[in-house]
Amino acid sequence: MPLALFVVLQLLGASPIDDFMRPIGPSGDPHVIAHRGFSGVAPENTLAAFRRAIAVGADMFELDVLLSKDGHVVVIHDETVDRTTDGTGKVSDLTLDELTALDAGSWFAPEFEDERIPTLAHALRLAKDQILVNIEIKTEAVTDELRGGIVEKTLEVVNALTMKDSVVISSFDPRALAQMRALDSDIRTATLYSERMHGTAGPGEAMKAVGSNGFNSSHSQVEASMVEECHRLGRPIAVYTVNEEADMHRVIELGVDAIFTDRPDRLIELLSK
Ligand code: G3P
Ligand code: MG
């Protein structure tokens, strides 16, 4: 951004939105985020879903992380393996070897029987230099401890692969975001808004409380005032999980910067018209 424009925006009380999540192109199209990978056509949170997100041309994919019993950061949404694998039990009660022995694809379709629960490192290696990644730290794995838990381990994986500039860390749990900021002063983070966690706090207050850079809201809760407040602060606002065309049109009209969807193909097609 030219210095003069930056100074004018500062004088107007606005800041430029981080390039990472700035609307793309002259039309200002929102970023397309493949939710749990391209989970409309492949089992969520598997390498198959992430490969398809890259192939379809999404700007970013989102994944969810929890900790295995032996302390590995693994990619899975639910607290238990029951819904998305052929096993049973809590992720935190199973070792990495036990988790990766499970079939994480057949529940979706028989052709995916070889899919496994990936580690965060697996998923990031696949994404490197190809696509941005939103790493959502699930509340179930967050503790009050700054050291040794899922937040620090996630940061270690990101740094080991030198991918800090390609990821954004999000969580519904303010502790995870505050801990991430305490461990790293400039990694990008985004507050995942829920009425239950944040009550009546607006985007500015919710982001400031944990030093986060962006604000993610459910599409059913997003309001024009939230978009305005984020943009006044120079912060991106993303909405999840938008799968129907009518909802896509509605949130595009609101001016959001990024959209999580299980159907990135549908959103890309719609944006191209
Ligand atoms: O990060 C956006 C979205 O993934 C949050 O909800 O339950 O799909 O992880 P959930
Ligand atoms: Mg998620």
Segment 193-201 mean pLDDT: 83
Q: How far apart are CA 188 and CA 212, in angstroms?
A: 7
One-character DSSP codes across the chain: --HHHHHHHHHTT-----GGGSPBTTTTBPEEEETTTTTTTS-TTSHHHHHHHHHHT-SEEEEEEEE-TTS-EEE-SSSBSTTTSS--SBGGGS-HHHHHTS-SSTTT-GGGTT--PPBHHHHHHHHTTT-EEEEEEPGGG--S-SSSSHHHHHHHHHHHTT-GGGEEEEES-HHHHHHHHHH-SSS-EEEE--HHHHTT--HHHHHHHHT-SEEEEETTT--HHHHHHHHHTT--EEEE---SHHHHHHHHHHT-SEEEES-HHHHHHHHH-
One-character DSSP codes across 120-161: HHHHHHHHTTT-EEEEEEPGGG--S-SSSSHHHHHHHHHHHT
Q: Catalytic residue at 122?
A: no
* In the predicted structure, residue 19 carries a pLDDT above the cut 70: no
How confident is the model at residue 151, as a pLDDT? 98
For 165-177, write each residue's pLDDT tens digit: 999 999 999 999 9
Pocket residue to mutate for ligand 1, from 192, 196, 216, 222, most atoms within 8 A of Cβ: 192
Q: Catalytic residue at 198?
A: no
Residue owning the nearest CA to atom 10 of ligand 1? 77
* In the predicted structure, residue 10 carries a pLDDT above the cut 50: no
Amino acid at 214: G
Give the residue, 15 or 209, on which the prediction is more confident.
Answer: 209
Going by their DSSP bridges, the two strands 237-240 and 258-261 should be labelled as parallel
Instruction: Enumerate residues with CB within 5 Å of ligand 2 (an ion).
Output: 64, 136
Segment 248-270 mean pLDDT: 97
| Ligand 1: lining residues by beta carbon, under 6 Å | 35, 62, 64, 77, 136, 170, 192, 216, 240-241, 260
How confident is the model at residue 194, as a pLDDT? 84
- CATH code: domain 32-272 is 3.20.20.190
* In the predicted structure, residue 206 carries a pLDDT above the cut 70: yes
In percent, how much of the chain has pLDDT > 70?
A: 90
Using left for φ > 0, alpha for ψ between -120 and 50, and beta otherwise, residue 162 falls in: left
